[in-house]
Structure 1
Amino acid sequence: MFTGIIEEIGIVRNIKKGAKSASLIVECKKIFDDLKLGDSVSTNGVCLTVTNISNSSFSADVMNETLSKSSLGSLNIGSRVNLERAMPANGRFGGHIVSGHIDGTGKITSIKKDDIAIWYTIIASPKVMHYIVEKGSIAIDGISLTVAQVTHDSFSVSIIPHTAGETTLSEKNIGSLVNLENDIVGKYIEKFSQSNNCITREFLYKNGF
């Protein structure tokens, strides 16, 4: 599990592409200190497993399912990526629950300055938009952000200078693809309510909801 608080920006040093898969070598500094084989690392929001460690870099395999559901397939040698290690049991919960399992990609349609802040508007599929609510949480390329505005097919977030400086979001342009992960809590609630006929409007009202 991750929190969406980016620890550092890594650099893709090599990409080995298979027929329907890829292997990435990512250079890092901060997270390299205690990185071990088998560790999970959120890479632009995608949970990847460390398969090799060498020379301040780690390797990770990316299967076909991940390439098709995320923007990792568009990475090039030299690309900068957001990195976060899995949350330790005694860690501080700074963002929201992020699994590293991407729901889909979105496309940036607008970037606007607002004094110190930057507004990003992102268009996404109906499947992703279904779980996005105003003032709710969304992970964009692994970054935990608060949804500021929502339309039928897009949503907007506003980032502060610290977030811009510590992540790759400020390097994106209009038309850039970003990985999106919905807040997992909403998905579980929907699944539970649909599979339990006892959860009705009357039941919720009776119990103070």
Structure 2
Amino acid sequence: MFTGIVTTTAPIVAIEERDQLRTLVVALEDRERENLEIGASVANNGVCLTVTKLEDNKVFFDVMEETLRLTNLEFVEVGSRVNIERSLVFGKEVGGHVVSGHVHTRATLTELTKTDTNCRMRLTLDPRWMKYILHKGFVAVNGCSLTVGEVFEDGFALYLIPETLSITNLGEAVVGTVFNIEIDSQTQTIVDTVERVLAARGQ
């Protein structure tokens, strides 16, 4: 479980390919490795991955074929920087919203407008997920807990402050960048429940 508050990015320093499995080797700073153990969960671009090996400052994560198919980890290369969040510790502040690290789908950046103090991103999303995207609702983008600024038939817009851009890899995005999307679990539960109730009443 995570909060969606990303405080750093880390570089991928190696990628190991095996049959239907890819191992990402990420170099983490000392503070991000504090008390980190094999078996721990760490979000990489919002994807909950298990630590399989620790070697100096390098942390190893295995990524299954299905995860690659659903997320933008399919496209990362050596040198790519991923958003990093350690798992939530009970009793700590939840500054964003509860994020599971189970990415639902991907979205593509189709419009990008930046000023010195503001950034607007428009993302295109598979229409079947749009019923869960609500104006002023939560959505996790590359693991970042963000508020939906606008909603369209085929996507939504985000408004980001400079701080978010500077400490996450959202600041590196260009038109065409693919983001990981995790729908807010509470929103999904409410929408799906209402649909089931209405469907039952219509029978």
Q: Same fold by TM (over 0.5)?
A: yes
Residues 97-133 of structure 1: per-residue CA shift (max 9 Å, x gap): 1111111101000110245010010001012222101
Task: Give 1:190 shift.
Answer: 3.1
Equivalent pairs counted in the alignment come to 200
Residues 34-69 of structure 1: per-residue CA shift (max 9 Å, x gap): 211111101001000001111112101101110110
Task: Give 1:196 shift.
Answer: 5.4
Aligned to 1:156: 157
TM-score normalised by structure 1 residue count:
0.91
Identity of aligned residues (%): 35
- Match of 2:95, SS state, is coil
Quote the Cα distance in structure 1 between the aligned partners of 2:151 and 2:197: 29
Which structure 1 residue ranges, 5 or more long, are not aligned? 201-209
Does 1:12 find its partner at 2:12? yes
Residues 177-209 of structure 1: per-residue CA shift (max 9 Å, x gap): 110111111122234345557x97xxxxxxxxx
Q: Which moved more, 1:56-65 or 1:112-121?
A: 112-121
Quote the Cα distance in structure 2 between the aligned partners of 1:73 and 1:90: 34
TM-score normalised by structure 2 residue count:
0.93
Residues 152-192 of structure 1: per-residue CA shift (max 9 Å, x gap): 00100011011011100010110011101111111222343
- Match of 1:130, SS state, is helix
Quote the Cα distance in structure 1 between the aligned partners of 2:125 and 2:20: 25
Quote the Cα distance in structure 2 between the aligned partners of 1:179 and 1:191: 22
Quote the Cα distance in structure 2 between the aligned partners of 1:190 and 1:161: 33
Quote the Cα distance in structure 2 between the aligned partners of 1:7 and 1:114: 22
Aligned to 2:94: 93
- Match of 1:13, SS state, is strand
Aligned to 2:182: 181
Quote the Cα distance in structure 1 between the aligned partners of 2:56 and 2:27: 8
Aligned to 1:62: 63
Aligned to 2:113: 112
Quote the Cα distance in structure 2 between the aligned partners of 1:192 and 1:39: 33
Quote the Cα distance in structure 2 between the aligned partners of 1:106 and 1:190: 20
Runs in 1 of length 4+ with deviation above 4 angstroms?
A: 194-197
Aligned to 2:2: 2
Q: Give the superposed CA RMSD.
A: 1.7
Alignment of 1:136-151 (within 5 A): 136-151=137-152
Quote the Cα distance in structure 2 between the aligned partners of 1:48 and 1:166: 21
Quote the Cα distance in structure 1 between the aligned partners of 2:122 and 2:182: 16
Aligned to 1:28: 28
